[in-house]
Structure 1
Amino acid sequence: MLANHKGEIPVVILLLPFIAGIIIGVNFAGINVIYPGAIFAGLTILFFLFNVKYNRFGLYKASWIGGLLINLSLLALGCTVAVQNNELNSNIHFSKQQPQLILGYINSEPQTKNDITRFTLNVTGTKKGNRLSEANGNLLVSIKDAKAHNLTYGQQLVFAANYSTPAPPYNPGEFNYKRYLANKNIYCQIFLYPGQYALLNQTKGNKLVAAALNMRQVLIKKLQANIRDTNAVAVASTLILGYKADLSDDILQAYSKTGTIHILSVSGGHVAIIYLMLSWLLGFLNRFKYGRLIRAICILLLIWAYAVLTGLSPAACRAALMLSLIVTGKTYSRYINTLNLLAVSAFVLLMYDPLLLYDVGFQLSYLAVAGLVIFQPIIYKWFSFDNKWISNIWLACSVSLAATAITFPLSAYYFHQFPVYFLLSNLIIAIPVTVILYAGILLLLLPQIAWVSQALGFLLEQCILFTNKTLGFIEHASFASVSGLWLTAAEYLLLFAVVVLLFYLAFSKKSWPLKAALIYMLFFSLSFSYHKYKADNNRSIVFLNMRKNIGIIFKDGRRGVVISNLPPTDKNFKYSVQPCLDSMQIADYKVYTPAANITLPYLIKRGELLQFGNKKILLLNRSSKIESIPPNLKSDYIYLTDNGYIPETKTPIITDGSNSNKHIEMIKNTFSHYYILKRNKSLIVQSKR
């Protein structure tokens, strides 16, 4: 329900300056924590004095001072928490010690994919020469070794400190993995092979987390023992236990394009279902004297145990914390505004880890719940039905519409697509997903009884297969999703403002929200149309940084050509080339190998020579048989791969990552005009017809 005035949601109002402080602290990470801490302490003391001397100095005439002080205090608190949380601000961070050896313990559940085991390591010490030093910090470790598949949380490792900083995105549209890790307080990574690390006998870490992760692995094995289909096991492990390591890309894509990806994240809906089940099972306790209190304690313990078991995701923590407050309030017959509960849970989680603010799951989770609380009642009142079943269906539709409407701008900003049939998808799978949760929980709680466990496993498997097939059918239906929605930050804010204003219009029936929404929509349309016009009329060449592979994109409006030695199905193509094509809004493109001859209206390639518009490019590699460049053969660029020979020329040279460091140094010393793609951003060249 939408609050009539801010007095009903004080915690929500107070959360805003705290969030603003976190943003300041994260973006100005070099700030010494003493300064914002001292400001917070000083403002808090002033606020205390303001309340003590309120009447003596007649401060009631300037009541706004109290509000200003508390908002500034929360701003300083948020900044202090963010700066203090940044591990690079620690004096004993391992990267500041220039160590030779690193010692630490595994503080996340190791996950193996494509024979590579990844986990984060909590560094506890370093060694330089004969000196051992205390250290801290998180390090992302990747190990390509069959023995590493058996690593578990808490085990201690020691290895040489040949770590590196994650590379920034080199190509347009490429996922910013460096920022993603930084938002998890990880600034260094290392790749290890057999024999490059040693496992110590002693273990560390939180014993409760270790027990929960071990229990989860036991439960996953139980699912594997009772379900035959591997995809069904992966979905069940994800949906019930929050274990995502075994999910295939096809399954993820099907759920994403149909607007049901939230099902694969243990979130508020899952915790709510667990809560309803526990409330029903423990309802008999209400008959006893202290039954309500005992029931509340049991529910809270079991809810938090489930949150720990599923990996303590932001959505699960938010739901568990909110339910804890709701259960506590109901136990003592207290009314608590749901938005205040939401704000309290956000405040607690951000105090623990301010970087959660930059977690996409955290943002979408809180937006979705806020949408349900504020907008769902408004949508539900649009229609009323006498039939109970139709009314329940409309209730489910209103829930899906509210959550999707409020999260759509953010989803489009991050994922660049919109699932058209999201309402149908969520309605169809609502019952199967509920059955999956209850059947899965029952299967895991009961001891292994041959026919009972097999029957539950069969039911679980069939429900998952039905869900997967249904979503696969919807995914491949015509106009199933709108893709290519590459919004700027300003366009996202404008679109979000339009959504909020339209809902406020439906609630208040006033005219000004409509006028404001139309103005914002006009600005959004102008900005979006301008960027689309630029993309449709742009002719450019992008020399991609593909490490040791070749990647060149020729853009002619919305069509294009990709020259690469990688097929479109290769993971490196999907990671570096496809996002660039999507961000440049190239809808129609063809992929050719570097040796292919090409004849198109806008691009011609014969042998090593290529012409695109007014630009000519000479492609040279080790096998190119060119001893000298004829004087009449004029080219704008020479693209060199695989340590190819370069005759004497004044033409600018572009070298990719397939050239050795020695060959690149030779080019730097020999030629005056060159561009090195290796460990550098892609080169974009404009072309004309």
Structure 2
Amino acid sequence: MIAKHKGEIPVVILLLPFLAGISIGLCYPTAKAITLGVSALILIALFVVFNIAYRRLQLYKNSWTGSLLIYAILFLAGWLITVQHNQLNSNIHFSKQSAKYLLVHINSEPKVKGDVVRFSADVVQSIDKGKGSPSNGALLLSIKDELAANLFYGAEVLIPAKYAEVEPPYNPGEFNYKQYLANKNIYHQAYLYTKQYRVTKGGCGNPIIAYALKTRQNLVAKLRANMSDTTAIAVASTLILGYKADLSNDVLQAYSKTGTIHILSVSGGHVAIIYGLLAWALGLRKGASRSNIIKAITIIVLIWVYALLTGFSPAVNRAALMISMVICGRTFARYINSLNILACSAFILLLYDPYLLTDVGFQLSYFAVVGLIVFQPIVYNWLYFKNTWADKIWMACSVSIAAQVITFPLSAYYFHQAPVYFLLSNLLIVLPVAVIMYAGTALLILPQVPYLSKALGFLLEHTILLMNKALAFIEHVPFASIGKIWLTRCEHLLLYVIIIAAFYFMYNMQRRWFLFVSLSTSLLFCMSISLKKFRADGARSITFLNLRKNTGIVFRNGTEGVVITNLADTDKAFQYAVQPGLDSMRITRYSIIGLNDTLHRPWFIKQQNLVQFIDIRILLLNQMWPLKSIPQQMGVSYLYVSNNVRIDTRQLSKLVLIADGSNSDAYIDKLKNIPVNCRILKRNKSFSIASKQ
């Protein structure tokens, strides 16, 4: 559904400057709120004056002035609420106060991974010299203690004021966890151990959310009582209730590679199934009769109760808002434009939390629905089937194609991969997902009945296992997914221009300039990709990674590479900090060798501690180095120092010294006092050098 005139979608038009204001606020969060507020008030006053003196000033001759003022007001409003939402702009933020202890309230459900419990908390008081002062700000806490597993939402905890800023990514391609937390308004974190914290009281959180989380835990326990397979229980908990704590990485990978990861995020499809079930059970029809209004209110309340149980994710909130508005429209027989409803729900959610705009789930959810509303009718009209069943299958295919096409640039940009057989996998899961939702809902709603509950649990478990087997089969089919896609922000935007222009041309082929825009943008996109490929093929460089107390050096020769590290490629640290860098540098063939290994390549030689890479010679100085001096005949240019190795510092004047994170702070301070070109990797970004040949 494409609007033929902007008057059909007024909320969408008004949302655009509001989104622009939020975007500017995210880029410039330190702007003065008072300045923005005064500017907005002046524009509002001007708008009122213009409306009062509309005829006297003959503004009808320049009708665009009113629209311009409204857009400017919405732009400033978006910027203002974003600046105010940023907790670092508060004068009583805990990081701006001197304190020995902090009093915090747990604001999320604690998650247990191994022996570490992790959760976020709101700071309410800073305590210094026995006196408390009001504070605010969020803090990410990680506690290594078995008893910490008993912590719960709403608990008040006293902790030492020993926190640090979240560290930025240090290596190429590494996930930006600092930005991820900043998008959630969290800028600091603390690590605690046994006896470093004390629970003072409970019940400090929102009682509704506390009750919902407790109820969800009880429902998850009910699933565990009626099912035996741990993987099936984890998928059921995630799919029905949005409880992801027990989901394994293998399962996530299988769903991601097959293009079905969306079903593991409780979203619009799940809410639509719940709505359909409730509408059928209550017999909801069109019309504003008294009984129908009561039914509509009941369904809306139950949908929001379900949204509450699933953790109020952006996708669920969007779906709950949209369906609530649709129910109201159907009940009172009003025409509803889907794009207006979508824009209205986005406006409400962003008013509550403008940082949702940066949430990947929020973006994927809204883009997917836009694809279904705008692109799906165009795709559906590509083919025509007289057979009813063939037409229904094509309808399902058009839905999948539209959603996948519009979300592909986001998936490629954030997750660096794209599924190939998404059409087949999405068709295969339609029936299983419906069975899982209905059987799971019935199991959780009905009281525990010995035979009936076990039967529903059996059906639920085996449906999930069957679906997992089918997706696992598709995952391992050759070319099941395209991986290692690394797009720049510009390329990401170019993809959207290509897609939107191409679909608009297919919608209205008389406007051929849209085809020209799509083709010319495609040319620019291909040129950008080709230029990156050309540069990657000719790149020859060495990157010294910051792996904390581990060693990591990447030697890049075009698309070939050698990695010297003490980590195995299956280690989490390697997957998190090394592998993304290899992928982003387009290194497709590489060897991983240890610190004591020997390797010979035409462009790379490692013999004991000496490394020769094209025209660069590096000496790895560690405890395995037998000498206290460096023979001049070795002709080295770089020294890689680790493990506080002892060395004669008088020989370092003409060399570049690189110290990794395994060295102590005292040792690094000593190196800093030596008159030598020294690069410290500890708590610093990785260091790269390029070959001159």
Q: Which amino acid aligns with 1:643?
A: N
Structure 2 residue aligned with 1:633: 634
Between the aligned partners of 1:426 and 1:69, the Cα distance in structure 2 is: 46
Q: Does residue 1:140 correspond to 2:140, yes or no? A: yes
SS at match of 2:632: coil
Cα shift at 1:284: 6.6
Pick closer, same or farther for the CA change 1:82–1:288 going to 2, 3 Å: closer
Identity over aligned pairs, percent: 55
Cα shift at 1:473: 1.4
Structure 2 residue aligned with 1:444: 444
Structure 2 residue aligned with 1:173: 173
Higher deviation after alignment, 399-408 or 196-205: 196-205
Cα shift at 1:555: 1.0
Between the aligned partners of 2:128 and 2:253, the Cα distance in structure 1 is: 47
Between the aligned partners of 2:454 and 2:396, the Cα distance in structure 1 is: 32
Structure 2 residue aligned with 1:546: 547
Structure 2 residue aligned with 1:607: 608
Higher deviation after alignment, 314-323 or 124-133: 124-133
CA contact (8 A) 1:43 1:69 kept: yes
Between the aligned partners of 1:54 and 1:674, the Cα distance in structure 2 is: 70
Between the aligned partners of 2:41 and 2:665, the Cα distance in structure 1 is: 54
Q: Which amino acid aligns with 1:382?
A: W
Number of aligned pairs?
689
Match of 1:649 among 652, 677, 687: 652
Structure 2 residue aligned with 1:188: 188
Cα shift at 1:602: 2.0
Q: Deviations over 1:624-649 (max 9, x none)?
A: 21122112111121111111122333
Structure 2 residue aligned with 1:505: 505
Structure 2 residue aligned with 1:218: 218
CA contact (8 A) 1:33 1:80 kept: yes
Cα shift at 1:184: 0.3
CA contact (8 A) 2:157 2:201 kept: no
Q: Which amino acid aligns with 2:476?
A: H
After superposition, residues 401-416 of structure 1 pair within 5 angstroms as: 401-416=401-416
Higher deviation after alignment, 223-232 or 211-220: 223-232
SS at match of 1:643: coil
Structure 2 residue aligned with 1:313: 313
Q: Does residue 1:472 correspond to 2:472, yes or no? A: yes
Q: Deviations over 1:597-618 (max 9, x none)?
A: 1112221111100111111110
Structure 1 residue aligned with 2:688: 684
Between the aligned partners of 1:434 and 1:684, the Cα distance in structure 2 is: 52
Q: Which amino acid aligns with 2:149?
A: H
Between the aligned partners of 1:649 and 1:111, the Cα distance in structure 2 is: 49
After superposition, residues 303-342 of structure 1 pair within 5 angstroms as: 303-342=303-342
CA contact (8 A) 1:175 1:575 kept: yes
After superposition, residues 56-455 of structure 1 pair within 5 angstroms as: 56-283=56-283, 289-455=289-455
Pick closer, same or farther for the CA change 1:615–1:373 going to 2, 3 Å: same
Q: Does residue 1:5 correspond to 2:5, yes or no? A: yes
CA contact (8 A) 1:105 1:203 kept: no
Q: Deviations over 1:448-504 (max 9, x none)?
A: 111111111111111111111111111111111111211111111111100111110
SS at match of 2:164: coil
SS at match of 1:670: coil
Cα shift at 1:108: 0.6
After superposition, residues 19-34 of structure 1 pair within 5 angstroms as: 19-34=19-34
- Tell me how large the CA RMSD over aligned residues is: 1.2
Pick closer, same or farther for the CA change 1:284–1:48 going to 2, 3 Å: closer
Q: Deviations over 1:217-268 (max 9, x none)?
A: 0000111111111111111111000011111111111111111111110111
Q: Which amino acid aligns with 1:565?
A: N
Between the aligned partners of 1:328 and 1:289, the Cα distance in structure 2 is: 12
Cα shift at 1:287: 10
Q: Which amino acid aligns with 1:672?
A: V
TM (norm. structure 1) is 0.99
Between the aligned partners of 2:84 and 2:504, the Cα distance in structure 1 is: 39
CA contact (8 A) 1:286 1:295 kept: no
Structure 2 residue aligned with 1:564: 565
Between the aligned partners of 2:554 and 2:467, the Cα distance in structure 1 is: 38
Between the aligned partners of 1:489 and 1:288, the Cα distance in structure 2 is: 49
Cα shift at 1:375: 0.5
Structure 2 residue aligned with 1:667: 671
Pick closer, same or farther for the CA change 1:36–1:286 going to 2, 3 Å: closer
Between the aligned partners of 1:22 and 1:516, the Cα distance in structure 2 is: 28
Between the aligned partners of 1:563 and 1:601, the Cα distance in structure 2 is: 17
Between the aligned partners of 2:64 and 2:288, the Cα distance in structure 1 is: 50
Between the aligned partners of 1:485 and 1:562, the Cα distance in structure 2 is: 21
SS at match of 2:553: strand
CA contact (8 A) 2:284 2:292 kept: no
Cα shift at 1:190: 0.5
Higher deviation after alignment, 636-645 or 393-402: 636-645
CA contact (8 A) 1:105 1:154 kept: yes
Cα shift at 1:286: 7.9
SS at match of 1:530: helix
CA contact (8 A) 2:436 2:460 kept: yes
CA contact (8 A) 2:275 2:303 kept: yes
Unpaired stretches in structure 2, ≥5 consecutive residues: none
SS at match of 2:364: helix
Between the aligned partners of 2:287 and 2:364, the Cα distance in structure 1 is: 40
CA contact (8 A) 1:36 1:80 kept: yes
Q: Does residue 1:598 correspond to 2:602, yes or no? A: no
Between the aligned partners of 1:267 and 1:397, the Cα distance in structure 2 is: 19
Q: Deviations over 1:42-85 (max 9, x none)?
A: 11121122222211221111111100000000001001110110
Structure 2 residue aligned with 1:623: 624
Cα shift at 1:671: 4.2
Q: Which amino acid aligns with 1:519?
A: S
Between the aligned partners of 1:484 and 1:404, the Cα distance in structure 2 is: 18
Between the aligned partners of 1:430 and 1:495, the Cα distance in structure 2 is: 29
Cα shift at 1:40: 1.3
Q: Deviations over 1:485-542 (max 9, x none)?
A: 1111111111110011111011001211111111101111101100111112111111
Cα shift at 1:114: 2.4
CA contact (8 A) 2:544 2:686 kept: yes
CA contact (8 A) 2:288 2:332 kept: no
Higher deviation after alignment, 277-286 or 603-612: 277-286
